[in-house]
């Protein structure tokens, strides 16, 4: 019996020594020690610290960065065999993407735009792709050789084709969904998970696609909140932050707050970017003219659009009759030609550095 007690006593002793050792290595203690060293009055920290590079001096002004230029938010709907106002053929979508790639456009997400987080490389122009209505031809699964694969002619299939071909295209897009995401309800969860895992975003296009102008605050919250709840049921960790207005119909003034913030069946939502339907490029997120509750889009179509289809604007940028956003390549610096200074929204610039040049 005595031997047993001895073993237990030795065991407890060893345990205590172990704890003491752990305390010695406590990272909080080490940090405190370091702070003490820094605070010593005879130290000269300026000499000890390495010199910080000046990010502004590294900006290449020969690329004519213009972070107050326009950014196009392209609005697509269906992708199918017949070209119409609300449908682009697979061939024409490929043509659009090729034009963008060849003419120094690179994709960014709408969510990043709304936060002013533009990672586009220096000298290139960000562009945002959006697809409304959650049609099956946006994301379609087909069976091939007994295996489930993404239809190469649906929107996601075509985007993935360009992602493979041009890894530096920064391929992404936002899909704005209603109550029935992408048809094929048996694959709804699989599709939504695949999108988020592969760098795409999901936005809200309201439950029943009614014009917001006709709805009151409670109805607006139900229309937005119910779609968010459907998406949350498939993707519990994903936050929907963007909204595309059905038919571009804005809510009555007194109900705008219900669109931006609300609650439905116990779940809250917050909207950081709201998309209209037409008909011109959006301003830079750093421009005082930008209204994140009502952002312009350009239609991804060439039919029945009078001088305001995507190619009209592409041409205007080529001819320098409009100014496109040209990135300085640094997320923490906003570089603008001095002539645009009055339009710089300092609230949006926040902690970023401003770099102005003549
Ligand atoms: Zn729609």
Average confidence (pLDDT) per 10 residues, the chain, 358 residues: 49 43 39 43 54 85 98 97 93 98 98 97 98 98 96 98 98 97 96 98 97 98 97 96 96 97 97 92 98 95 75 95 98 97 98 96
Apex 90 CA angle, 86 and 93, nearest 5:
75
Predicted local confidence at residue 150, as pLDDT:
98
pLDDT, tens digit (0-9, with 9 covering 90-100), for 10-61: 444 444 444 333 333 443 333 444 444 444 445 555 555 556 678 999 999 9
Predicted local confidence at residue 22, as pLDDT:
38
Q: Is residue 48 part of a domain?
A: no
C-alpha 179 – ligand 1 centre gap (Å): 12
Q: Is residue 55 part of a domain?
A: no
Predicted local confidence at residue 309, as pLDDT:
86
C-alpha 208 – ligand 1 centre gap (Å): 10
Answer yes or no: do 88 and 28 share one domain: no
Answer yes or no: do 29 and 75 share one domain: no
- Asked whether the beta carbons of 189 and 234 are under 8 A apart, the reply is yes
Q: Is residue 47 part of a domain?
A: no
Cβ contacts of 23 within 8 Å, gap of 6 or more: 29
C-alpha 299 – ligand 1 centre gap (Å): 13
Answer yes or no: do 93 and 228 share one domain: yes
C-alpha 275 – ligand 1 centre gap (Å): 11
C-alpha 290 – ligand 1 centre gap (Å): 23
C-alpha 131 – ligand 1 centre gap (Å): 9
C-alpha 87 – ligand 1 centre gap (Å): 12
Q: Is residue 103 part of a domain?
A: yes
Answer yes or no: do 108 and 30 share one domain: no
Answer yes or no: do 25 and 111 share one domain: no
- Asked whether the beta carbons of 308 and 280 are under 8 A apart, the reply is yes
Q: Is residue 191 part of a domain?
A: yes
Based on its alpha-carbon atoms, the radius of gyration of the chain, rounded to whole angstroms, reads 27
Answer yes or no: do 98 and 246 share one domain: yes
Predicted local confidence at residue 16, as pLDDT:
41
Residues belonging to the chain: 358
C-alpha 198 – ligand 1 centre gap (Å): 24
Q: Is residue 61 part of a domain?
A: no
Residue numbers of the domain that contains 152: 67-357
Q: Is residue 223 part of a domain?
A: yes
Dihedral sign computed on CA atoms, order 150, 152, 154, 155: positive
C-alpha 248 – ligand 1 centre gap (Å): 8
C-alpha 246 – ligand 1 centre gap (Å): 5
Answer yes or no: do 31 and 115 share one domain: no
Predicted local confidence at residue 42, as pLDDT:
53
Answer yes or no: do 300 and 339 share one domain: yes
- Asked whether the beta carbons of 287 and 324 are under 8 A apart, the reply is no
Query: CB within 5 A of ion ligand 1: which residues?
Result: 132-133, 246
Predicted local confidence at residue 278, as pLDDT:
76
Q: Is residue 54 part of a domain?
A: no
C-alpha 238 – ligand 1 centre gap (Å): 22
C-alpha 18 – ligand 1 centre gap (Å): 64
pTM for the model stands at 0.84
For the chain, what is the domain count?
Answer: 2
C-alpha 181 – ligand 1 centre gap (Å): 12
Answer yes or no: do 327 and 233 share one domain: yes
C-alpha 316 – ligand 1 centre gap (Å): 28
C-alpha 211 – ligand 1 centre gap (Å): 10
| Three-class secondary structure assignment of the chain | CHHHHHHHHHHHHHHHHHHHHHHHCCHHHHHHHHHHHHHCCCCCHHHHCCCCCCCHHHCCHHHCCECCCEEEEEEECEECCCCECCEECHHHHHHHHHHHHHCCEEECCHHHHHHCCCCCCCCCEEEEEEEECCCCCCCCEEEECCEEEECCCCHHHHHHHHHHHCHHHCCCCEEEECCCCCCCHHHHHHHHHHHHHCCCEEEECCCCCCCHHHCCHHHHHHHHHHHHHHHHHHCCCCCCCEEECHHHCCCCHHHHHHHHEEEECCEEEECCEEEEEEECCECCCCECCCCCCCEEEEECCCCCCCCCEHHHHHHHHHCCCCCECECCCCCCEEEEEHHHHHHECHHHHCCCEEEEEC
C-alpha 247 – ligand 1 centre gap (Å): 6
Answer yes or no: do 88 and 211 share one domain: yes
Answer yes or no: do 25 and 77 share one domain: no
C-alpha 276 – ligand 1 centre gap (Å): 10
C-alpha 135 – ligand 1 centre gap (Å): 10
Tokens of residue 125, six digits: 């122009």
CATH of the domain at 188: 3.20.20.370
C-alpha 148 – ligand 1 centre gap (Å): 28
Predicted local confidence at residue 65, as pLDDT:
98
Answer yes or no: do 90 and 201 share one domain: yes
């Amino acid at each position: 019996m005595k031997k047993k007690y001895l073993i237990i006593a030795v065991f407890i002793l060893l345990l205590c020594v172990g704890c003491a050792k752990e305390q010695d290595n406590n990272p909080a203690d080490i940090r405190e020690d370091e702070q003490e060293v820094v605070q010593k009055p005879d130290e000269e920290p300026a000499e000890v610290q390495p010199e910080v590079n000046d990010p502004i001096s590294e900006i290449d002004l020969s690329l004519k960065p213009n972070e107050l230029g326009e950014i196009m938010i392209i609005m697509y709907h269906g992708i199918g065999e017949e070209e119409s106002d609300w449908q682009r053929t697979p061939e024409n979508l490929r043509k659009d993407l090729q034009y963008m790639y060849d003419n120094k456009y690179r994709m960014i997400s709408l969510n990043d735009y709304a936060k002013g987080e533009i990672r586009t490389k220096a000298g290139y122009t960000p562009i945002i792709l959006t697809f409304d209505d959650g049609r099956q031809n946006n994301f379609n699964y087909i069976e091939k050789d007994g295996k489930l694969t993404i239809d190469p002619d649906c929107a996601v299939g075509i985007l993935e084709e360009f992602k493979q071909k041009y890894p530096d295209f920064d391929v992404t897009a936002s899909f704005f969904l209603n109550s029935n995401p992408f048809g094929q309800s048996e694959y709804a969860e699989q599709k939504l998970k695949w999108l988020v895992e592969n760098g795409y975003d999901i936005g809200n296009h309201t439950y029943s696609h009614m014009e917001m102008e006709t709805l009151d605050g409670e109805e607006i919250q139900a229309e937005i909140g119910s779609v968010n709840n459907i998406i949350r049921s498939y993707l519990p960790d994903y936050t929907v932050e963007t909204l595309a207005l059905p038919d571009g119909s804005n809510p009555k003034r007194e109900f705008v707050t219900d669109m931006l913030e609300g609650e439905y069946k116990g779940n809250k939502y917050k909207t950081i970017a709201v998309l209209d339907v037409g008909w011109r490029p959006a301003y830079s997120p750093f421009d005082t003219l930008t209204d994140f509750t009502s952002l312009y889009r350009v239609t991804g179509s060439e039919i029945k659009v009078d001088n305001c289809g995507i190619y009209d604007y592409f041409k205007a940028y080529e001819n320098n009759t409009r100014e496109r956003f040209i990135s300085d390549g640094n997320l923490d610096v906003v570089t603008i030609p001095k002539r645009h200074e009055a339009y710089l929204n300092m609230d949006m610039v926040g902690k970023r550095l401003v770099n102005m040049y003549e």
